[in-house]
Chain A
Amino acid sequence: MIVAEKKPIEEIIEEIKDYKKILIAGCNECVTVCEAGGKKEVGVLASALRMYFINNGKKMEIDEVTLERQCDHEYLEEIRNQIGQYDAVVSLACGVGVQFMAEKYRRIPIYPGVNTSFMGVTEERGVWTERCQGCGQCILARTASICPISRCAKRLLNGPCGGSTNGKCEISKDLDCAWQLIIDRLKELNRLDDYEKLLPIKDWSTERAGGPRKVVREDVRL
């Protein structure tokens, strides 16, 4: 899923402080699961903002809504009738949702309420970690199903670098060295010999280097 983190409230305040009436829109997908932008967080943010503005002598009306998803037209349509009354929307969806809402409702400023972080997993309750950078050319088959692009600080395809220490990355003791993981797993799979196969120079064009990407499935298109 997409993992996001709540934006510091002061940042949101700074963006919306000049409006009078705003809508906080949550999303019941990834951001709910990663506890950054579900209905509950909408409530928490709304309550905190109301208090802030009262406390700072400002009249601010704040409403709450949580959509099933903000990355689909149909769900975004649900607020068409009410959205007109707001000066701005703070979307707690990922960056995708924020943009999609903005594309749909062109006259209303939409502000992000979360920092969209990465695609990752819930390692345990309250701990999410990155697993994929969407490079568009999956190499996991060559790296014991552990992605050095998303998990090595230097994205080394033929790691590890000399900074790998006790299984940890040189940049942080809390970060596993992806290449250590790869090697460990290769060992477990009894395929350590694969390590010596050089990974070729990567074609990054399917990653962001190639510009905005698009997937089109003609076979399913309506």
Chain B
Amino acid sequence: MQKPRYVDISKCTGCGECAKVCPVVLDNEYDMGLSSKKAAYKLYPQAIPGAFAIQKADKAPCRLACPAGLNVQGYVQMVGQGKYKEALEIIMKDLPLPGVLGRICPHGCEDACRRCEVDEAVAIRNLKRVAADQFDPRAIKVPCAPPRKEKAAIIGSGPAGLSAAYHLARKGILSTIFEALPEPGGMLRVGIPGHRLPRNILDQEIEVITNLGVEIKTNAPIGPDLTIDALFKKGYEAVYLAIGAHKGMELGIPGEKAEGVQQGVDFLREVNLKGTAPVGKKLAIIGGGNVAIDVARSAVRLGAKEVNIIYRRTRAEMPAWEEEIQAAEDEGTAITYLSAPQEVLTQDGKVVGLRCVRMELGEPDSSGRRRPVPIPGSEYDLEIDQLIPSIGQTPDLSIIGDIEDVGTSRWGTIEVDPITYATTKPGLFAGGDVQTGPWVAIGAIAAGKEAAESILRYLDGRDMAEGREPITNENPQYRPIPERIKKQARSAMKELPIHDRVGNFHEVELGYDEETGKSEANRCLNCGYCCECFQCVDACIAEAVCHDQQPVERDITIGSVILCPGASLFDPSPYEGFYKYNQHPNILTSTEFERILSATGPTMGHMKRPSDGKEPTKIAWLQCVGSRDTAHCNNGYCSAVCCMYAIKEAVIAKEHMKGDLDTAIFFMDIRTYGKDYEKYYNRAKDEHGVRFIRSRVHTIDPMGHDLILKYSDEMGQLHEEMFDMAVLSVGFEIDQERIEFAGRLGISLNKYNFALTPAFKPVETSRPGVYVSGIFQAPKDIPSSVTEASASACAASIDLSEARGTDIKTLSMPEEIDVSDQDPRIGVFVCDCGINIAGVVDVPAVVVYAKSLPNVVYAQENLFSCSQDTQDRMKGIIKENSLNRVVVASCSPRTHEPLFQETMQACGLNKYLFEMANIRDQDSWVHGSNPEAATRKAKDLVRMAAARAALLTPLQEKRIPITMRALVIGGGVAGMNAALGLADQGFETIIVEKEAQLGGLARELTTTIEGDDIQRYLIELMDRINRHEKIQVLTETLIVGFGGFKGNFYTELMVGPAMYARKIEHGVVILATGAIEYKPKEYLYGEDHRIMTQIDLGKRLEVKGADDLNQVVMIQCVGSRNEENPNCSRICCQSAIKNALHIKELNPDTEVWILYRDIRTYGLHEDYYTAARKNGVKFFRFSKDEPPRVEATDKGLFVIFKDHVLQRDLRVPTDLLALSAGMVPTDTGELASIIKLPRNEQGYFLEAHVKLRPVDLANDGIFLCGTAHGPKLITESISQAYAAASRAATFLSQPEIILSAVTAKVDQSRCAACLICVRVCPYNVPRINENGVSEIDEALCHGCGICASECPAKAIELNWYEDQQIMSKLDSLLEGVL
């Protein structure tokens, strides 16, 4: 299922106009919510070119709650932006009466508003009114289809009738409305008094409809003189019946016909049509709805002295709106609850009183409200002179007479099809109160709109119901309510003072001013993310926005799957009591802090703490948040990356603050186990002064903006320290979504829900053909993740190797035209980039200018140069005008140069005859506020580009075939796996091993910590190697010579004991020279047989068991983390624990003590550390400055060390002392000098980039794996071997390599053989040849140009950046300046 992004990326130019106009401000996930973005946003901020996307969820609840389906979120956002016209355009897609509904709508939307979960609903209705107040709806251009000839008649000009007429008009069907009363508007006019809905508003908005050509005939009641049938006969092809419900319901009590009794609706109609009506002195109103209130408030205005509403239930059940009730009370109306009239008391036929009975609430009735029950004997009389029952209305169907074929309900309403609103009589439709009984205006509007659709279809003879079934969504997905949102009360509306209300019907509610409107609108939570205001659609010149994209289900045929869904970060929120993450803004997660450090982050790299923007002076890091923590969250594993990133963050933060920052990292063990990580840790400590505090913080106490951290040190001493900020070093977690994902794919997970993989097949899941890489498999750092990614690609490629080379398309290019003896004919294309450039730069002026430049024979403006159609047009122009140089003035060559060059090649032009002027990124975008200057600059840039273009010459890229053979140096586990990874893909591979047998260090090993048998694995592996037809193994072989370049290497070998000389040609090299166990110089190793390394111990346990051992002591970090070898050897902690567990398994009574500095069981290995402690292995920490001492005497072997908790020396006799000796690389000094390979100080080979290219060397075509790269576990070596194979295969699978033509060339006649090029070249490419002059091999040249700019004889030029080409730009830029 592919989710829509609502932007067509093939059209999107990444200009960002959509985001600019998008009103929806959301948290920016890229900045971990520390900054904001829009609903239209750049999906991958760092991608180039970056296309946009629109973030959407389900339609907002307010919209769903609106009977007419108004896009509430849309217009609220528009009001928030002050875009009232746009707001009205959105509203009036559904509703022609924004100002009316903006006053009287009962706003069901607000009940649905999720802002209630924070504080109060957004005042949606009021915001609608703001739009109509600020912009005259009559000025909105309503888009209408061309008028059709058919006509419709509408009976009734209430909201249903008006809505139907409006929507019909939009569809091109003009209608006539027949209105019985003298004025149009129906209940809006006669049911609602002017203080709630001023007449002029209603009039104006009816004009919106009549402006579309709708005719309203007033005083034209339906009846005997004008029957429905007659309308049909008159030529109206459809009739819409919308006469409302204007007949008041009777109380059904004695005396109701007396003088002084008037139905509420009748009273209101009289007031509304005549402006007044007679009122008594003491007035009783029966009912609890809005009509009762309207009557009461009208009566007060007309001078009634006492107005009393009598309602049979309590206020809580009253259907009238609370604000109306409140207003009525404020204006002097009294309300009597739990009372019902029983009889109208009359005298002389006139009302004089009312007998009421007290009520109480009984059982709930069908509406769910508790039924009022009279209290016997509680009757009482009330003195009144006027009674206005207002308990409800019904349609008065009598007026239309009996219509054939039309059914009615028992409530006296017309029956219609619930979807189409068609009656059983063809052509007759009905809606509004006449169909529903008295209901809300917006319901009638909705009904009218639906009827209009039906009528259109009816006229077209189409199925009226098709596709109109309402879709219900049981479980809508909305934007989650932000956790740190601030409460903000709903804005109150100004009202007319009470004393000003008497004797008039002036509007009471005075609306919001603009500011209030905006601030209220901004309370909207944007539940649906995108509000579908469609501003982006208008803004996008490329027409890339596409809101109606739907999710697409796709089937893709595949041969294997690689899973790299990653993991989620631990969320500290559930442990708020301790971490206080949500309640204090200066407690951040490490990822949030990363963003604060980032130049592209929310603060643009300026260090500021969130609460007050202060530059922090003290920051604390809390390690192991959500990792190694079974107390809070059951994440028993180590997240493997947090120590390193915390140190990095602390160092960078200090650098940002230029030293004015104190940083403290609170940790349990520092786990800087990666290659050269320990050095970084040491530098952080010693050079940067990052403080490392071995302690777990037990309390974080916020104090204003600051935080007090309470902790106890190793000796149990309590400390308190104040910090400006605290960073939670959060670990990884597999969330529910990923667990379900794994479930769908049918792969097994481990107890922490990481993907389960076998030790010797580190990227294979439980399901064949499905591979995994990255932290979905286990927590790991970037180098390991990237390595695994390549490894899984290798595994998948093996499955797919048969299909290699199929399903590819080749692009054929015409033969290149020779332009060498042509004068330059330059074509200049100046891009608008929509409005990105043209919005600032006067592009036509630039085009005219370009035409005036020397050698320019053609110039034109492109709307979007990069669009396919423009490219096609450009090809035509290039050919027609015989252009031989092309300049495109548009955006960055980094993103678009290859595209335009391809276009040139398609025209037979050499791609180096191309030049770009970046008038967007370097001009219009950065000088937007100064169009004149930007235009001037654009001209300069175009002139400079044209000047250079004229001097460009064709350059040929060299194509070199590749020798499809790999050389693997080293036949250990890594070398063998690398060979298999390549050979299984079909590449011939040669393994060179200096020893007589394959296997390397693994020959010495017994099992992995997981318990897998290494020797058995090794036998199987060697067997596969030996039987593989693509693999050749050369043992006892030395490398004595090496030469060539990527894809075409040769290696000279001395093979076998006879030293037979051989030369092998190969395309790639994989280095797998391995490492060996360090032979300790420390702790009397080699002087006493009871002292051994962990490897020795492993073997000893296999052979002799542990029955004879009472006590074993192990010392960690032997030969690691010291001056000589500052790095951590990564594997020793788990080796020690593996052997310790083995001892405990063999003999539970043996005491095992491990003396350590930091236990570094990273990732899932933490479980073994936990298990060791549970099984009684004892761990004692020692510090680097006070290492343990060993005494070997006749009386036994003793280890003396200082216990950190007791603070005193312990002297322990032991049967065995196991030294956790680190790893040292195999001696590769000679190899490195033969092949010219870079190594670090310890002799491990150096990868090209620690994180991004972990198995590549800087030397092209040479790859690295296994312990030759750094100490690692066998599982990690296998992964890396596969990764190296994958990288090598990527290289070998190309038929040839294309070398860039941007290389340096020597004018040998000028060369003084000074050797400067030889010395300055970072790649040692230039050499002085046999003729005594410099020669630069273009196959090896990287094209930096350093040699060219240092040559004292000016004998070297860099192709495409020749001095005259560069100087031409300067010349033309500065032409005429002097």
Contacts and interface: CB of A to CB of B under 8 A. Distances in A.
Q: Do chains A and B touch in the complex (CB under 8 A)?
A: yes
Interface of A: 28-29, 32-33, 35, 38-41, 43, 54, 66, 122, 125
B226 to A, nearest CB: 98
A54 B1315 CA distance: 36
B959 interface: no
A39 B1354 CA distance: 6
A28 B1320 contact: no
A33 B1352 contact: yes
Contacts of B1352: 32-33, 35, 38-41
Given A28-B1310, A39-B1310, A125 B1353 contact: no
Contact of A32 (B1314, B1319, B1320, B1378): B1314
B1221 interface: no
A29 B1332 CA distance: 13
B1351 interface: yes
A40 B1354 contact: yes
7 contacts: A32-B1312, A33-B1312, A38-B1314, A38-B1352, A39-B1355, A40-B1352, A66-B1353
A32 B1311 CA distance: 10
A39 B1312 CA distance: 10
A33 B1351 contact: no
Contacts of A35: 1314, 1316, 1352
A38 B1320 contact: no
B1310 A33 contact: no
A210 B474 CA distance: 112
Contacts of B1310: 28, 39
Contacts of A29: 1312
A148 to B, nearest CB: 28
Contacts of B1355: 39
A40 B1312 CA distance: 12
Contacts of B1315: 33, 122
Interface residues of B, number: 14
Interface in B1275-1322: 1310, 1312-1316, 1319-1320
B680 to A, nearest CB: 31
Most A Cβ at <10 Å: residue of B1314, B1319, B1378: B1314
A32 B1314 CA distance: 7
Nearest to A27: B1312
Interface string B167-180: 00000000000000
A33 B1314 contact: yes
A69 B333 CA distance: 115
Interface string B799-820: 0000000000000000000000
A41 B1320 CA distance: 18
A29 B1314 CA distance: 9
Contacts of A125: 1316, 1319-1320
Contacts of A43: 1354
Nearest to A54: B1378
Nearest to B1363: A43
Given A125-B1319, A125-B1320, A40 B1351 contact: yes
A132 B264 CA distance: 124
Given A28-B1310, A28-B1312, A40 B1353 contact: yes
Nearest to B1352: A38
A39 B1353 contact: yes
Contacts, number: 39
Contacts of A40: 1351-1354
A61 to B, nearest CB: 15
Contacts of B1354: 38-40, 43
Interface of B: 1310, 1312-1316, 1319-1320, 1351-1355, 1378
Contacts of B1316: 33, 35, 125
A195 B1316 CA distance: 38
Nearest to A33: B1314
A54 B1377 CA distance: 14
Given A33-B1315, A38-B1312, 10 more contacts: A28-B1312, A32-B1312, A38-B1353, A39-B1353, A40-B1352, A54-B1378, A122-B1315, A125-B1316, A125-B1319, A125-B1320
Nearest to B1319: A125
A89 B837 CA distance: 52
Most A Cβ at <10 Å: residue of B1320, B1353, B1355: B1353
A39 B1314 CA distance: 13
Contacts of A54: 1378
B1318 to A, nearest CB: 10
A45 to B, nearest CB: 13
Contacts of A122: 1315
Most A Cβ at <10 Å: residue of B1313, B1316, B1352: B1352
A33 B1314 CA distance: 5
A40 B1351 CA distance: 7
B684 to A, nearest CB: 34
A222 to B, nearest CB: 25
A214 B371 CA distance: 135
Contacts of B1320: 125
B1315 to A, nearest CB: 7
Nearest to B1312: A32
A122 B1313 CA distance: 13
A43 B1355 CA distance: 13
B1063 to A, nearest CB: 35
Q: Which 10 A-B pairs have the closest CB atoms?
A: A38-B1352, A33-B1314, A32-B1312, A39-B1354, A35-B1352, A125-B1319, A40-B1352, A32-B1352, A38-B1353, A32-B1353
Nearest to B1349: A40
Contacts of A41: 1352
Contacts of B1353: 28, 32, 38-40, 66
A75 to B, nearest CB: 13
Nearest to A124: B1319
A50 to B, nearest CB: 11
Nearest to A32: B1312
A39 B1378 CA distance: 26
A65 to B, nearest CB: 12
Nearest to B1309: A68
Contacts of A28: 1310, 1312, 1353
B600 to A, nearest CB: 38
A125 B1352 CA distance: 12
B1370 to A, nearest CB: 12
A136 to B, nearest CB: 28
B1320 to A, nearest CB: 7
A29 B1310 CA distance: 10
A215 to B, nearest CB: 24
Nearest to B1313: A33
Contacts of B1378: 54
A43 B1316 CA distance: 18
A122 B1318 CA distance: 13
A29 to B, nearest CB: 7
Contacts of B1351: 40
A40 B1353 CA distance: 6
B1304 to A, nearest CB: 15
B1362 to A, nearest CB: 15
Nearest to B1320: A125
A146 to B, nearest CB: 23
Contacts of A66: 1353
A35 B1315 CA distance: 11
A29 B1353 CA distance: 9
A46 to B, nearest CB: 12
A33 B1332 CA distance: 14
Nearest to B1378: A54
Contacts of B1319: 125
Nearest to A31: B1352
A125 B1314 CA distance: 10
Nearest to B1311: A28
Nearest to A39: B1354
A199 B1319 CA distance: 40
Nearest to A28: B1312
A83 B1150 CA distance: 98
A160 B1312 CA distance: 38
